[in-house]
Chain A
Amino acid sequence: MDPNDYRIWLDAEESGRDELAELMFARLLSDLPTIEPSPAFASAVANRAWRVARRRRAANPLARVAATLLVLGATAVTMYALGMVVVDALARSTALLSQAVLWFVASAAHGVQWWAVMARVGAAIGASLLTVRTATAIGGIELLGAMAIYLFQRVLHGEPHAHNSPRVQI
């Protein structure tokens, strides 16, 4: 390659002759030194690929069993926790309902406006149902579910894809 090609390229860029500039630039780029991989590169690649595949094949059934056990465990815990929450909520609701009816009748007799009555009843029900125990149970269930889904996705698809990036979905 002639070093004069650089001058022609830079002049073409300067003067806006794009076709010539691109042609010269392509010639210059093709002249850049090639970076050769080490001689054993391809065989190292194939060896590693085979090793990884073998390891994955061996690990996959174990991972599937572990993920299945986790999902089953999470489901059992969820059912148990939900059952407790539902029973608890039913008992509280029954007690509240009887009190609310009495309170409603008494308030109506005193001419309290209907929306004030509803607000009072709603607040009482909310305060009664949203206890620390209930909130903890629901949060725990959501967390377990998310973990189980994530693990299942990892096991089934091998590699998670990072979104919000210029990576290409293959």
Chain B
Amino acid sequence: VPLTDAELVDQALAGSQAAYEALANRYATPAVNLASRMVHDPMLAEDLAQEAFVRAFDRLSTYDRQHKFSSWFFQILHNVTIDYLRRKRLSTSSLDEMVEAGFPGVHDVRAILPDAQAEHTALTAALDRALRQLRPEYREVVILRYREAVPVQEIARIMNLPSGTVKTYLFRARKELAAILASAGWREALNTASETGRGHTP
């Protein structure tokens, strides 16, 4: 039976490095994923996630077992990431920057559409890159809610925001992403593909 987070925390506090390694292993992927989508750099994301784990260990004795370890840890990661973004003033990518970085626009779409696999890859890449254009707080709520399946109330606790604000951020983020993809020509291209029978139909 795998140990619970609280049990691993207890063992780590008692001096077990292996227990903390197991805990870090459990949350490494979500932590690096979230940080990476916040700073657009996987290597830097690893550094930030590592910093968050070190800080978490430093304060492990203050962890309140009434709450989930994941929420507590994500609060620390949130702080580490926000501090970094604040220092570097790295928040969003402009559309021009995205196009330069290879964001697929409508012309690329027309070239891509005949091949379903390429279409799928391009769409996923487009959504991934569109995320970069969102405000950091929108990006964070979207990743926590839809990638990590964190409930709204937990996100509110992690980001120190009212639940209503988190819901508003989620709604606006979705709308903005849809607008970004539509303005890049995806909606029109997908509808055309659907009508002409190319690609996929419902």
User: Interface of A with B (CB < 8 Å)?
Assistant: 1-4, 6-11, 13-14, 18, 21-22, 25-26, 28-38, 41-50, 52-53, 56, 158-159, 162, 165-170
Cross-chain contact B21 with A7 (CB below 8 angstroms): no
Is B82 an interface residue when CB atoms closer than 8 A count as contact? yes
Residues of B within 8 A of A50 (CB): 17, 20
CB-defined A-B contacts under 8 Å, sample of 23:
A6-B123, A6-B181, A8-B202, A10-B186, A11-B187, A14-B182, A21-B174, A29-B142, A32-B124, A32-B128, A35-B33, A37-B29, A41-B46, A44-B50, A49-B20, A50-B17, A52-B54, A53-B57, A166-B159, A168-B160, A170-B59, A170-B75, A170-B79
B20-57 residues at the A interface, CB under 8 angstroms: 20-22, 24-25, 28-29, 31-33, 36-37, 42, 45-46, 49-50, 53-55, 57
Cross-chain contact B24 with A42 (CB below 8 angstroms): yes
- The listed residue (B29, B32, B120, B182) touching A10 by CB distance below 8 A is B182
Tally of A-B Cβ pairs under 8 angstroms:
151
Residues of B within 8 A of A43 (CB): 21
Tell me what chain B mostly uses at the interface: helix, strand, loop, or mixed.
helix
Cross-chain contact A35 with B36 (CB below 8 angstroms): yes
Cross-chain contact A41 with B146 (CB below 8 angstroms): no
Cross-chain contact A166 with B137 (CB below 8 angstroms): yes
- The listed residue (B42, B116, B190) touching A7 by CB distance below 8 A is B190
Given contacts A3-B190, A34-B33, A56-B58, are A165 and B25 in contact (CB under 8 A)?
A: no
Cross-chain contact B190 with A6 (CB below 8 angstroms): yes
Given contacts A4-B201, A158-B58, are A32 and B147 in contact (CB under 8 A)?
A: yes
Residues of A within 8 A of B181 (CB): 6, 10
Residue of B nearest to A10 (CB): B187
Bound-complex Cα distance A28 to B31 (A): 20
Residues of A within 8 A of B191 (CB): 7
Bound-complex Cα distance A17 to B33 (A): 29
Residues of A within 8 A of B119 (CB): 3
Residues of A within 8 A of B128 (CB): 32-33
Cross-chain contact A25 with B174 (CB below 8 angstroms): yes
Cross-chain contact A13 with B174 (CB below 8 angstroms): yes
Bound-complex Cα distance A33 to B146 (A): 13
Residues of A within 8 A of B199 (CB): 3-4
Bound-complex Cα distance A35 to B116 (A): 23
Residue of A nearest to B50 (CB): A45
Cross-chain contact A31 with B82 (CB below 8 angstroms): no
B149 smallest CB distance to A (angstroms): 8
Cross-chain contact A49 with B54 (CB below 8 angstroms): yes
Residue of B nearest to A9 (CB): B178
Is B89 an interface residue when CB atoms closer than 8 A count as contact? no
